[in-house]
Structure 1
Amino acid sequence: MKILLINDYGTATGGAELQMLGLRQNLRDRGHDVRLFSSRAMQVASSYCLSDYSCFGTTTRLQVLSQTVNFSAYLKLRQILHEFRPDVVHVRMFMWQLSPLILTLLKDVPCLYQTAVYKAICPVGTKLLPDGRPCKATAGIACLRDRCLTPQSWAVLMVQRQLWQRWRSAFDLVVALSYGMKAQLEAEGIGAIEVVHNGVPVRPMRPPLANPPTVAFAGRLVSEKGVDVLLRAFARAKAQAPKAQLLVAGRGSEEDALRALAAELGIATDVTWLGHLPRSEMEKHFDSAWVQVVPSLWSEPFGNVTTEAMMRGTSVIASAVGAQPEIVVDGITGFLVPPLDVDALTAALLRLLLNASLAEQMGRVGRQYALTYFSEDRCTERFLEIYQRLRASAVSVSSSRNRS
């Protein structure tokens, strides 16, 4: 089968990008001709584009314009469709760089949209207000009223939203990353949705746990990830687990503020800031972790770092929001705690930092769950099933038209 994957970015830097690169390889390993189209925009300066085809993209102020109408993406995709002639097109993220303009080219090709964020119903993609509360409003004037957008970006992104709504029928199917995400999309009028959880690469089990008791966090250092909550809970846990250490992998706009908070809490020497790391390097650092914490404040559509921790054999403490309750089995593979609840997170941390055997047990059970329900192979097979169904449906429609 000839399959075209489309994503805003072609770098190995974010969850969506790693998922698409992994899917491309897994499909190729099964004998399919698979190619990836993305912009040339770089989210991390040291990264590089791994796509088969690319077009203009930018992370400068021009992005607000190009993500609405990117003529370079339109022209390049038109060329790709003419030359490659894919049987199926799989679009993941497209409204940060490639723009809804590409949808006009996809109406006659079997095509699915895999929603990695809430961009389909929220211009900023999170359904989260600036103060951290969930947004209950429909996108529109509320985005300006609640100061989610500046007047300038609001005007442009409302045009993007209109174009998306006008051309979204190009997609034959929408794929959500979780049932929680499906419910939110359906509540705002997005239909024909199936759920396919992200896949995680199979890797060897980590070594047996050893001192010091170590906590790990991986993700962007931004407010909605709740890293400040983790720092406060870790500082409290240190009173009863004085040898505990914290590893933080990632970069973001809140890094300086978080480092200052760690110093203020008296834990600066107990926190190691690893910066942005390739997945392989991060896994080596995290092999020593007794527990990985995912303290998100917003309803993340999935949780790649959660399934990566489980595949490693690390117990997980996660906020009970978004897809986390679909991944973490509370009391079995880890613990679920309310978001923003420092006391609850502290208590969960202490249950594991003071009990290596419990951390070991939860990690091993979590690994079995990851192998059974969240492996890359399982995800790839689900998409192949969907591709074949879309292709067969398109052939059937075409045959009916020819007969009539």
Structure 2
Amino acid sequence: MKILLLHDYGTATGGAELQMLSLRQGLRDRGHDVRLFSSRVIPVSGSPLLSDYHCFGSNTRLQVLSQTANVSAYLNLRHALNTFCPDIVHVRMFMWQLSPLILPLLKSVPCLYQTAVYKAICPLGTKVLPDGQPCQHTAGVSCLQHCLSPQAWVPLMLQRQLWLRWKDAFDLVVALSHAMKAKLEAEGIRPVEVVHNGVSERPMRSPLTHPPTVVFAGRLVPEKGVNVLLQAFAQARLQVPNARLWIAGQGTEAMNLQTLAAQLKVEDCVTWLGHLPHAQLEKQFEQAWVQVVPSLWEEPFGNVSTEAMMRGTAVIASAVGAQPEIVSDGTTGFLVPPDDVHALTAALLRLLQNPSLAEQMGQAGRKHAFTHFSENRRTDRFVEIYQQIQATGKHSQGLNPFKAIS
């Protein structure tokens, strides 16, 4: 099969990007001819561009225009389609760089949209209000009232109108979790399948040693809940004085979080690792007793959870979004209410005071990750979907599954 993957970025710098690159490799390993189309944007300085076809992209003010109507993406994709002639097109993120302008080109080829965020129903892609509460509004004027400035609202509404006009290019939408599927279907997006992200296989970590170590990896932004983790860790450390916390990531809240750590008097046992390449991060987290995912918003998935489980690390996660589909509460870790310092503290203490339980949950998590979240399982599922679309999609029957959607 000839498969063309489309994604806003062609670098190994984020979870969605790593998923597309590993999917490309997995499909190639199965004998398929697979190529990746992306913008030329480099999100992290020094990261190589790994896509096979490229177009203009921008992280400057020009992005306001290019994410709405990227003429370079249209022209370069048209050339790629004409020269490569794919049997299937698999789109992931496209509304930050490539723009909906590419969609009319996809109407003549079997195509799916694997949405990694909520861009299909939310201009910001989060479905979260500025106060951190879930957004229950339909995108439109409410976005101007609650989330967007007039200057941002106008181009993003134009982008949305183009998406709604041309969304019939897709035979199928793929969500990362059943929780995400429910949100999409509640706003009229159908048909939707679920394919969880895959995690690469790796050796089991060594047996745990002291001191008890808590780790976090992710963007340092309000919705990730790192402030809740710091407060809970400070409480847990009163009973486990030698505990330590490693925080990997960067973001707009970095300085505020470091100030909070000082106010909580835990700055001496918190290590700020900054952004680390994936391989270096995994090596750094070898001795983690528990990885915490304290998200406040309903994330579509949670790669850090499955990566921790594959490593053999117990996970404590907020019971929101996809985390209840990933973490088996009481078996591979614990699920706690979001923004609940007391509950997170209690879960931390159960593991930091009981290394045998941390070992047991880590080993159970590793088995669960191999069974349910491996890259091979994900790749095989997509091959099945590609074949299904070719056999039953609108391009083979002259039908359009989106026509009934307003």
Which category of TM-score, normalised to the shorter sequence, fits these structures? over 0.9
Bigger drift between 253-262 and 305-314 goes to 253-262
* 1:89 match: secondary structure: strand
> What residue is the counterpart of 2:132 in the other structure?
132
Deviations 1:202-225 (A, max 9, x none): 001000000010001000010110
Look up the equivalent residue of 2:366 and give its one-letter code. Answer: R
How far has the Cα of 1:248 moved from its partner?
A: 0.7
Matches for 1:103-114 after TM superposition, within 5 Å = 103-114=103-114
Structure 1 distance, partners of 2:82, 2:348, is 55
How far has the Cα of 1:397 moved from its partner?
A: 3.3
> What residue is the counterpart of 1:99 in the other structure?
99
Look up the equivalent residue of 1:325 and give its one-letter code. Answer: P
RMSD of aligned residue pairs (Cα, Å): 0.9
Look up the equivalent residue of 2:170 and give its one-letter code. Answer: F
How far has the Cα of 1:63 moved from its partner?
A: 1.0
Structure 1 distance, partners of 2:392, 2:187, is 27
Structure 2 distance, partners of 1:278, 1:212, is 24
TM-score, L = length of structure 1: 0.97
> What residue is the counterpart of 1:401 in the other structure?
none
Structure 2 distance, partners of 1:239, 1:326, is 32
> What residue is the counterpart of 1:182 in the other structure?
181
* 1:38 match: secondary structure: strand
Look up the equivalent residue of 2:71 and give its one-letter code. Answer: F
**Runs of 4 or more consecutive aligned structure 1 residues displaced over 4 Å after TM superposition:** none
> What residue is the counterpart of 2:401 in the other structure?
none
Look up the equivalent residue of 2:108 and give its one-letter code. Answer: D
How far has the Cα of 1:278 moved from its partner?
A: 1.1
> What residue is the counterpart of 1:319 in the other structure?
318
Structure 2 distance, partners of 1:375, 1:201, is 6
2:358 aligned with 1:359, yes or no?
A: yes
Look up the equivalent residue of 1:177 and give its one-letter code. Answer: L
The answer for unaligned runs of 5 or more in structure 1 is 399-404
Look up the equivalent residue of 1:117 and give its one-letter code. Answer: V
Structure 2 distance, partners of 1:42, 1:265, is 37
Structure 2 distance, partners of 1:236, 1:42, is 40
Look up the equivalent residue of 1:120 and give its one-letter code. Answer: A
Look up the equivalent residue of 2:166 and give its one-letter code. Answer: W
> What residue is the counterpart of 2:141 in the other structure?
141
Structure 2 distance, partners of 1:316, 1:243, is 20
> What residue is the counterpart of 2:402 in the other structure?
none
Deviations 1:228-277 (A, max 9, x none): 10011101111001101111111111111111111111111111111111
Deviations 1:126-171 (A, max 9, x none): 100111111000011111111x111101011000000000000000
> What residue is the counterpart of 2:217 in the other structure?
218
Structure 1 distance, partners of 2:60, 2:343, is 40
How far has the Cα of 1:294 moved from its partner?
A: 0.2
* 1:122 match: secondary structure: coil
> What residue is the counterpart of 2:257 in the other structure?
258
* 1:350 match: secondary structure: helix
Structure 1 distance, partners of 2:181, 2:2, is 28
Matches for 1:250-399 after TM superposition, within 5 Å = 250-393=249-392, 396-397=396-397
Look up the equivalent residue of 2:255 and give its one-letter code. Answer: D
Structure 2 distance, partners of 1:257, 1:188, is 36
> What residue is the counterpart of 1:80 in the other structure?
80
> What residue is the counterpart of 2:39 in the other structure?
39
* 1:197 match: secondary structure: coil
How far has the Cα of 1:41 moved from its partner?
A: 1.1
> What residue is the counterpart of 1:28 in the other structure?
28
TM-score, L = length of structure 2: 0.97
Counterparts in 2 of 1:60 and 1:390: CA distance versus 1, 3 Å:
same
Structure 2 distance, partners of 1:271, 1:42, is 30
How far has the Cα of 1:396 moved from its partner?
A: 4.1
> What residue is the counterpart of 2:239 in the other structure?
240
Structure 2 distance, partners of 1:61, 1:337, is 40
How far has the Cα of 1:393 moved from its partner?
A: 3.1
Identity of aligned residues (%): 72
Deviations 1:325-352 (A, max 9, x none): 0000101100000000000000000000
How far has the Cα of 1:199 moved from its partner?
A: 0.3
Structure 2 distance, partners of 1:87, 1:393, is 14
* 1:269 match: secondary structure: helix
2:66 aligned with 1:66, yes or no?
A: yes
* 1:241 match: secondary structure: coil
2:21 aligned with 1:15, yes or no?
A: no
Deviations 1:3-41 (A, max 9, x none): 000000111111100000000001111111000000011
Deviations 1:81-118 (A, max 9, x none): 00000000000000011000000100010000001000
Would you say how many aligned residue pairs link Structure 1 and Structure 2? 397
Bigger drift between 262-271 and 176-185 goes to 262-271
> What residue is the counterpart of 1:89 in the other structure?
89
> What residue is the counterpart of 1:53 in the other structure?
53
Deviations 1:301-320 (A, max 9, x none): 00100000000000000000
Structure 2 distance, partners of 1:10, 1:247, is 29
How far has the Cα of 1:392 moved from its partner?
A: 2.5
* 2:31 match: secondary structure: coil
* 1:329 match: secondary structure: coil
* 1:287 match: secondary structure: helix
Look up the equivalent residue of 2:8 and give its one-letter code. Answer: D
> What residue is the counterpart of 2:116 in the other structure?
116
Bigger drift between 109-118 and 268-277 goes to 268-277
The answer for unaligned runs of 5 or more in structure 2 is 399-406
